[in-house]
Structure 1
Amino acid sequence: MLNRVSTMWSWWWDASNDKGGHSRATLAALVSIFALFWFLWAAKKSRKVIPPLPPGPRGLPIIGYLPFLGTELHRKFEELAGVYGPIYKVWLGQKLCVVVNSPSLVKEVVRDQDTIFCNRDPPIAALAATFGGADIAFSSYGPDWRKLRKIFVREMLSNANLKSSYTLLREEVKNSIRNVYDKIGTPIDFGELAFVTVINAMSNMLWGGTLQGEEGAKFKKLIAEQMVLFGKPNVSDLFPVLARFDLQGIERQSKKIFQWSENILDSAIEKRMNSNEGKEDGTGKFEQKKDFLQFLLELREKNDAATSISMTQVKALLWGTELELSDKFGIVAKKLKPTVAIPAPKLSKFELYTT
């Protein structure tokens, strides 16, 4: 390369002494400078060490290991760990996934080096249902995420706020016990019972009321469908070039569910803001009870950049809280068969169970 640069330089020098050779000399100089920079860049790149990827199954061209995964991912991953070790790669379509299957490595990823591995790669269904990934679960690490985490963990889940919500939680537990008592002698799906109890308790804590009747049943059903969409394999996630076509309709379904749930949130927010009009106690604070919605609306009115949030973030926090508590329909492995039991009374009166 150095010899080439020297030759070009000599050619430019000779050409510059010839009549009419200035244009050729200028071109030669530009080529020489380009060659020199290219040489320096190549030399720097050759010294850069690129760590190799962990081992893993080969899979097939384009589609990767997708045809061999099966439906029980946890068992398949355990099987692959026995072959490739505690950390290995799996190509799923155009997505490169690294599987960690060791307690020590998990500790390294989620605790010791958490800021390196904390950014999210949310599925399209999650982006469609969380204002483009504006909630805590799916937003990337950064100033906005730290602000939301501070509000959610330090403020919304503070001991004072949780203590004030204890009465609401206790009331929902009583309602669940009453539900079991009324169905003595009939089979009860305890997973479904726990789900209903948690959702009603959280709704009460979030905006001070539960969804009753057909609206409540539809809300629970839609949350279940949303969780299924979150965990459902989506061609658009595995092959981003196909995302615009939404071949499986997952994005469309997720947006439809999200629109319905957002209408509920908008209605709750509108009622609360209207009910707050003219009810200040003279100190700028509202007299009514302090649920999470009230707390978020007060934060929204602040001028402090460290805590003030937008209305979109208010709704993202409320909706994200509902989704995060849907254990039965979550995107984790669940029981193949639900736990069903037939309750039998030990005490003669229902009141004895709630005292």
Structure 2
Amino acid sequence: MTFDAFLLRELGVALLIFFISHFSIRLIIKNSRNLPPGPRGWPILGALPLLGTMPHVTLTNMAKKFGPIMFLKMGTCDTVVVSSPDAAQAFLKTLDHNFLNRPTIAGATHLGYNAQDLVFANYGPKWKLLRKLTNQHMLGGKALGDWAHVRTSEVKHMIRAMHECAKQGELVEVADSLSCAITNMVSQVVLSQRIFSNKGFESKEFKDIVVEFMTISGVNIGDFVPCIAWMDLQGVVGKMKRLHKRFDVFLTKVIEEHVKSSHERKEKPDFLDIVMSNGENPSQEGLTLSNIKALLLNLFTAGTDTSSSIIEWAIAEMLKNPIILTRAQKEMDQVIGRQRPLAESDLPNLPYLQAICKETYRMHPSTPLGVPRVANEACQVNGFYIPKNTRLTVNIWAIGRDPNVWSNPLEFNPERFLRGKSAKIDPSGLDFELMPFGAGRRICVGYRMAIRVVEYILGTLVHSFDWKLPNGVELNMDEAFGLTLQKAVPLSAVVSPRLVSDAYEHV
């Protein structure tokens, strides 16, 4: 053996001893602290192989054994999973300041313009500016009122299209109709134009792209085992890059055409005009083109898909439980009658409709595991030690089905929100029993708009039409897991008008 070979061998042995010692010492230190309980995982992969295709369900079952605060090694990443309202409050309220940032994941990198968007950007000046602009000009309370006429206009387009389906004896593809309407609501506010017709390949293709976007943003092994991320074992990163190119072409075209026509809107700028005016600012808080594209991506994906998914689940639950549909229609007939369509101003007078929406948030939260956060510093929660850089996952799906919180949790029963303490529960992030949009400072910025849109569109659909399944078709309630919780089989239904004919002719 040559001297060089001998040195190389000895160096390799020394490095091996160093790494074994280093990780053994870290393990001993960690074990000496009171980490939350959790399952034993596999070498290197940790608990990842245990999750299966429905991680939210698997983690819910694990919590029954290990408790509402679990510690898992997800690959090489420390992860804490929270599955009760009290535990969620401890992390998202008491220690919210320590969990304001997101971990680095492939979806944010390859789809979110390197985490330049509102969902995954680090908590700081850029994120605060993005949130401020969206709240002031699009998603906040006053802005919602200013854009009420847009929602009314798009709901009328949708009702006319569905009424035409009813006259022609055609099925209503619920997800496609909702996606078209909500995307047009967003595009009118953002771009001053409708980007889709009510029916056609273009809107269906866009819906399919958005669903793919949300689906592939789920579990990616490379996010948890960084040393093998380059291998892209699941092919997810390749799909993300291809999907990103499709979205980038769409967004680039939108921005270029918008800039060319900006002179037409000098008196009344739309949302993109306002955002662009904050772009490429030499100040520290100026938005880059990547920030702007990433924000538009949020609005046209998460901003549309989550609401349409909730409404589709609600209609499916009412088809499964026709008595609930009948009671909702009876309430609307008493409050509104059948001479005109439902208006947004009717919503405060429809408590049963609001209860149906809350019950849908409970059983079918659009983001079942929330959006992950990461600990900036080590901390103590309920007597447990949480190491620095630990990823936080809140199992919203599990909290909504916790028998310690909800009676008969697997039963879809809107009446639970009409009496007792549950009647005061609100889905806007203040009550940790029901937080479909998260909580704390990183709550979904669009939660106000989502609540308004879900109540308004669902109420209009229930009031305007009778609903039934096509002959011979069984209702499929299976879930498809991703960043959002889709129906595995999209809902198609037969609708028939229940208002006076003039009500449809004049919408």
Q: TM-score, normalised by structure 2?
A: 0.54
- Separation in 2, partners of 1:119, 1:76: 25
Of 319, 341, 348, the residue aligned with 2:493 is 341
Counterpart position of 1:137: 119
Q: What SS does structure 2 have at the residue aligned with 1:309?
A: coil
Counterpart position of 1:298: 277
The alpha-carbon deviation at position 264 of structure 1 amounts to: 1.9
Counterpart position of 2:180: 196
Q: What SS does structure 2 have at the residue aligned with 1:255?
A: helix
Letter in 2 for 1:254: M
Asked if 1:208 is matched to 2:187, the reply is no
Counterpart position of 1:173: 155
Asked if 1:127 is matched to 2:105, the reply is no
Counterpart position of 1:16: none
Once the two structures are overlaid, the 10-residue window that deviates more, 129-138 or 47-56, is: 47-56
Q: What SS does structure 2 have at the residue aligned with 1:183?
A: helix
- Separation in 2, partners of 1:323, 1:81: 31
| Equivalent residue runs for 1:31-50 within 5 Å | none
Of 163, 167, 170, the residue aligned with 1:186 is 170
Counterpart position of 2:210: 223
The alpha-carbon deviation at position 238 of structure 1 amounts to: 2.5
The alpha-carbon deviation at position 256 of structure 1 amounts to: 1.8
The alpha-carbon deviation at position 199 of structure 1 amounts to: 1.6
Does the CA contact (< 8 Å) of 1:178 and 1:350 recur in 2? no
The alpha-carbon deviation at position 49 of structure 1 amounts to: 11
The alpha-carbon deviation at position 216 of structure 1 amounts to: 3.5
- Separation in 1, partners of 2:59, 2:259: 49
The alpha-carbon deviation at position 214 of structure 1 amounts to: 4.3
Pair 1:94–1:226, CA change in 2 (3 A): same
Does the CA contact (< 8 Å) of 2:138 and 2:189 recur in 1? no
Counterpart position of 1:316: 294
* Aligned residues with identical type, % of pairs: 29
- Separation in 2, partners of 1:109, 1:151: 27
Does the CA contact (< 8 Å) of 2:192 and 2:270 recur in 1? yes
The alpha-carbon deviation at position 173 of structure 1 amounts to: 0.8
List gaps (5 residues or longer) in structure 1: 1-46, 281-285
Asked if 1:153 is matched to 2:135, the reply is yes
The C-alpha deviation readout for 1:174-222, integer Å capped at 9, x for no partner, is: 1111121111143324333222221221122211223335444332221
The alpha-carbon deviation at position 354 of structure 1 amounts to: 5.0
The alpha-carbon deviation at position 348 of structure 1 amounts to: 5.3
The alpha-carbon deviation at position 245 of structure 1 amounts to: 2.4
Pair 1:190–1:134, CA change in 2 (3 A): same
The alpha-carbon deviation at position 135 of structure 1 amounts to: 0.7
The alpha-carbon deviation at position 353 of structure 1 amounts to: 6.5
Counterpart position of 1:35: none
Pair 1:210–1:245, CA change in 2 (3 A): farther
Pair 1:220–1:332, CA change in 2 (3 A): closer
Does the CA contact (< 8 Å) of 2:117 and 2:291 recur in 1? yes
List gaps (5 residues or longer) in structure 2: 1-28, 310-479
- Separation in 1, partners of 2:283, 2:45: 49
The alpha-carbon deviation at position 48 of structure 1 amounts to: 12
- Separation in 1, partners of 2:40, 2:222: 22
Does the CA contact (< 8 Å) of 1:129 and 1:254 recur in 2? yes
Counterpart position of 2:87: 105
Does the CA contact (< 8 Å) of 2:183 and 2:300 recur in 1? yes
Pair 1:334–1:49, CA change in 2 (3 A): closer
- Separation in 1, partners of 2:118, 2:202: 27
Larger Rg: 1
The alpha-carbon deviation at position 56 of structure 1 amounts to: 0.7
- Separation in 1, partners of 2:176, 2:242: 24
- Separation in 2, partners of 1:87, 1:197: 40
Does the CA contact (< 8 Å) of 2:108 and 2:115 recur in 1? yes
Does the CA contact (< 8 Å) of 2:179 and 2:203 recur in 1? no
Letter in 2 for 1:195: S
- Separation in 2, partners of 1:119, 1:73: 22
Letter in 2 for 1:248: Q
Does the CA contact (< 8 Å) of 2:262 and 2:273 recur in 1? no
Letter in 1 for 2:292: V
Instruction: Tell me how many residue pairs correspond in the alignment.
Output: 301
- Separation in 2, partners of 1:274, 1:74: 46
Pair 1:98–1:160, CA change in 2 (3 A): closer
- Separation in 1, partners of 2:77, 2:256: 42
Q: What SS does structure 2 have at the residue aligned with 1:312?
A: helix
Does the CA contact (< 8 Å) of 1:199 and 1:322 recur in 2? yes
Q: TM-score, normalised by structure 1?
A: 0.75
Pair 1:354–1:57, CA change in 2 (3 A): farther
- Separation in 1, partners of 2:133, 2:191: 16
- Separation in 1, partners of 2:485, 2:204: 24
Of 62, 69, 78, the residue aligned with 2:51 is 69
Q: What SS does structure 2 have at the residue aligned with 1:88?
A: strand
The alpha-carbon deviation at position 298 of structure 1 amounts to: 2.3
The alignment's C-alpha RMSD in Å is 2.9
Letter in 1 for 2:258: R
Pair 1:354–1:102, CA change in 2 (3 A): farther
Letter in 2 for 1:166: A
The alpha-carbon deviation at position 244 of structure 1 amounts to: 1.7
- Separation in 1, partners of 2:84, 2:172: 38
Letter in 1 for 2:182: V
